[in-house]
Structure 1
Amino acid sequence: MRSPLAAAALLAAATLLTGCGLQSANTFVPQAEPGTIRPIGADGAEIVVGTKNFTEALILGKVAVIALQVAGFDVTDRSGIPGAAPARAAMLGGEVEVQWEYTGTGWLNYLQMPEGIPDRQEQYEAVRDADAANGLTWLPPAPMNNTYAFAVRSEAVEELGGVASLSDIAALPVEQRTFCVESEFATRGDGFEPMLEAYGIPLGDPQGVPRENVSVLDTGAVYTATDGGVCNFGEVFTTDGRIDSLDLTVLEDDRGYFPAYNVAPVVLNGTLEEHPEIAGVFAEITPLLTNEVMIELNRRVDVEGEDPADVALDWLVSEGLVTRG
């Protein structure tokens, strides 16, 4: 668990990185009216929603802001907190009251547990129970699981013998076991090399995956290199919009190597005690957030260049959760 001293250090890091406290990258929020989400008697109570500064977090943050405004809160939008440590510090310090977070991130990064838990429900319950001592409540997670995976260009699936899972790679000739990975994943203690060990094709083994079969690239370049055939298998994140836009096929992690990274709303205990209806607002949202939904929402921002707030509102309206203002 985090000590008060550690929390203070993290909070100081947040202030340092933002220059003068938490800053919002884009506070534009389109107007919305009730749909299935109705006013809950908040009567304009103030609440602060935070997000980290990558596409998926920004979209989900706007979803939360719009939903809570419709529910009757006066919401301060702290979109775009620069990084995981400042985002965590903001919650521990009480500067942010509501934030989406990933179960695997909470468990491995924040609580510093040595291993992730592949089972989604077990991972959620473990981080929920452990983080309660830090004054945080993890509400039930969404089906979407933004974890690591490997993908292949769809037109090559049949050329590679109908490959559908990571285990299938072991059946391919060694020269076809080519990979593109980002530098962090290539060196993580729970990353690429132990993954290959888990699937019986060890790195550096002439009968496994020779080192010359591996290209270490920047994150964005991994997707385009995989699509272009530089390698057969590229490291991806399972809700990235480029999976669909480049027509990549994600392979099944059939041995359950990768930890679960389901996204869940995290709320300060005091805020939830004062407004327990918040849980009901998110209960209408989280079951609808699947990998397929998030891939499309991310694609609209990263590929089509749309504003995260507009994408968030469109999705909420399409599900009948809110109506346009």
Structure 2
Amino acid sequence: MAAVAVLGLAATGCGLKPASQFAPDVTGKSIQAGSLKGATLSVTSKNFTEQILLGKITVLALKAAGAKVVDKTNVQGSINSRKAIERGEADMGWEYTGTAWITYMGKDKPIPDPQQQYDAVRKADLAQHRIDWLSYAPFNNTYAMAVTGPNAKKYGLKSLSDMKKVPPAQRTFCLETEFYSRVDGFAGMLKAYGIPKPPSGQVKKLDTGVVYDATAKGTCLFGEVFDTDGRIPALHLTTLADDRHFFPIYNPALTVRHSVMQRYPQIADIEKQIAAKLSTKVMRKLNAKVDVEGQEPVLVARDWMKSEGLLE
């Protein structure tokens, strides 16, 4: 795909283009048709591409199992999506272990082992909020800082520690608003790597989807990205290694209100089939179909589920 086409489509992703509530009719294959017949269930998600895709996959899976599904995906911000589940306004949504541990549970030290982090989050969330965590997917959608290939070569940038090699006046950052304010975000990263906070004029707060394009164009030297985003390779960006392991593990899992799981325990079997297939490679490919190629998330979700034998 020509570079101009990639750049032109980049701004449409990560929730900047509203997600349609349309869901095509589907028939289960490995997902047992009729296993949720008579159930009415609602699904929420945050408002960036990966979350919308995960939400649409869940909507289709529940629909294939015979449930009536209320699509509440594409909610602005992590907190709002999470609160919808806590308040009973939505039954379920995908969440990341690191986000829950740091942001919702107020912990200041992540657990570096993925399984131990998941186990700790699952136990705490059930006890504190009556929310169940189902099987987690093997990919880690961690935050990362990206640079262009030429800038990586110019300054010798391979890891976040290398940011110190850049003269302070040239340390410019493109960040999404949520990352700027999160405990596991910008300020914490700078502190962990011993980098003074730059003047406000060197930090641009942008919508998530705009950060990638701005970084590729050189608007900022460093751009905050999600490691599973398909625009990283499409825009020829390079991510810097988190060599001091500041960022938590962000394995995703479907979180469901406990009362819902008690009534419909078969949801766990459906979700387990899905989670096991979601590798980093798969997620980057699916994200790219939306953010780079401009495809509709629910159709990307359906086609992938068919290719994996989940749907007919």
Fold match, TM over 0.5?
A: yes
1:123 to 117, 132, 137: 117
1:150 to 145, 148, 164: 145
Code of the residue aligned with 2:137 in structure 1: it is A
Note if contact 2:93-2:254 (Cα within 8 Å) is conserved in structure 1. Answer: yes
Q: Which moves more between the two structures, 150-159 or 252-261?
A: 150-159
2:188 maps to 1:199: no
State the shift of 1:65 in Å.
1.2
Query: Which whole-Å deviations, capped at 9, do the CAs of 1:44-103 have from their partners, x for residues lacking one?
Result: 322222223332222111100111222232322222334434422332233322211122
State the shift of 1:306 in Å.
1.8
The equivalent of 1:295 in structure 2 is: 284
State the shift of 1:297 in Å.
2.0
Query: Which whole-Å deviations, capped at 9, do the CAs of 1:247-292 have from their partners, x for residues lacking one?
Result: 2122221221012222110112222222222111111111222333
The equivalent of 2:311 in structure 1 is: 322
Note if contact 1:186-1:216 (Cα within 8 Å) is conserved in structure 2. Answer: no
The equivalent of 2:260 in structure 1 is: 271
**In structure 2, how many angstroms separate the alpha carbons of the residues matched to 1:194 and 1:72?**
45
Note if contact 1:26-1:80 (Cα within 8 Å) is conserved in structure 2. Answer: no
**In structure 1, how many angstroms separate the alpha carbons of the residues matched to 2:266 and 2:200?**
56
1:224 to 209, 213, 228: 213
**In structure 2, how many angstroms separate the alpha carbons of the residues matched to 1:307 and 1:283?**
25
TM-score for both structures, normalised by structure 2: 0.80
The structure-2 alpha-carbon separation of the partners of 1:56 and 1:187, relative to structure 1 and needing over 3 Å to count, comes to closer
**In structure 1, how many angstroms separate the alpha carbons of the residues matched to 2:35 and 2:181?**
50
Note if contact 2:133-2:254 (Cα within 8 Å) is conserved in structure 1. Answer: yes
1:94 is paired with a residue of what secondary structure? coil
Note if contact 1:119-1:259 (Cα within 8 Å) is conserved in structure 2. Answer: no
The equivalent of 1:19 in structure 2 is: none
The equivalent of 1:37 in structure 2 is: 31
State the shift of 1:176 in Å.
9.9
2:75 maps to 1:81: yes
Q: Which moves more between the two structures, 258-267 or 240-249?
A: 240-249
Note if contact 1:49-1:99 (Cα within 8 Å) is conserved in structure 2. Answer: yes
State the shift of 1:118 in Å.
4.2
TM-score for both structures, normalised by structure 1: 0.77
Code of the residue aligned with 2:94 in structure 1: it is W
Code of the residue aligned with 1:226 in structure 2: it is T
1:266 is paired with a residue of what secondary structure? strand
The equivalent of 2:61 in structure 1 is: 67
State the shift of 1:169 in Å.
4.2
Q: Which moves more between the two structures, 97-106 or 211-220?
A: 211-220
2:238 maps to 1:249: yes
Code of the residue aligned with 2:22 in structure 1: it is F
1:265 is paired with a residue of what secondary structure? strand
Note if contact 1:32-1:70 (Cα within 8 Å) is conserved in structure 2. Answer: yes
Code of the residue aligned with 1:257 in structure 2: it is F
**In structure 2, how many angstroms separate the alpha carbons of the residues matched to 1:76 and 1:103?**
25
State the shift of 1:156 in Å.
4.4
Note if contact 1:169-1:177 (Cα within 8 Å) is conserved in structure 2. Answer: no
The structure-2 alpha-carbon separation of the partners of 1:41 and 1:320, relative to structure 1 and needing over 3 Å to count, comes to closer
Note if contact 1:53-1:79 (Cα within 8 Å) is conserved in structure 2. Answer: yes
Pairs aligned (count)? 292
Note if contact 1:203-1:211 (Cα within 8 Å) is conserved in structure 2. Answer: no
1:249 is paired with a residue of what secondary structure? strand
Note if contact 1:103-1:124 (Cα within 8 Å) is conserved in structure 2. Answer: yes
How many percent identity over aligned positions?
Answer: 43
The structure-2 alpha-carbon separation of the partners of 1:213 and 1:117, relative to structure 1 and needing over 3 Å to count, comes to farther
Q: Which moves more between the two structures, 176-185 or 306-315?
A: 176-185
Code of the residue aligned with 1:277 in structure 2: it is Q
**In structure 2, how many angstroms separate the alpha carbons of the residues matched to 1:221 and 1:62?**
23
1:33 is paired with a residue of what secondary structure? coil
Higher radius of gyration, 1 or 2:
1
**In structure 2, how many angstroms separate the alpha carbons of the residues matched to 1:130 and 1:195?**
25
Query: Which whole-Å deviations, capped at 9, do the CAs of 1:82-137 have from their partners, x for residues lacking one?
Result: 44344223322333222111222222332333444444323222221111022210
The CA RMSD over aligned residues, in Å, is 2.9
Alignment gaps of 5+ in structure 2: 1-17
1:107 to 70, 95, 101: 101
The equivalent of 1:304 in structure 2 is: 293
2:74 is paired with a residue of what secondary structure? strand
